[in-house]
Amino acid sequence: MNLLSVTGVSHDYPHHGRVLHAIHLAIAPGETVALLGRSGCGKSTLARMLVGLETPQHGDIAWRGTPLTALKGE
């Protein structure tokens, strides 16, 4: 089982357009991951989504198979 799964995540900002488009990511126990890219490509937006500070407009993010939206407030 993956610790973290990102499936089809997309996100737009009103004045900047699409910053993420159909992102898929699976992180297994023991893996180390780095997010790399040019300025404005969505690295910080994805990071904010992974910790629950933002919600993707499309797609799903799950921690150990449980959607992050179900974990908020726990």
The reported pTM is 0.87
- Give residues with Cβ within 8 angstroms of 33, minimum separation 6: 25, 27
Tell me the per-residue pLDDT of 57-72, one tens digit each, with 9 for 90 and over. 999 999 999 999 898 7
Give the count of beta carbons closer than 10 Å to the beta carbon of residue 10: 15
Q: Which two tokens stand for residue 25?
A: 């990511």
Tell me the per-residue pLDDT of 3-13, one tens digit each, with 9 for 90 and over. 999 999 999 98
Q: Which fold has domain 4-71?
A: Rossmann fold (3.40.50)
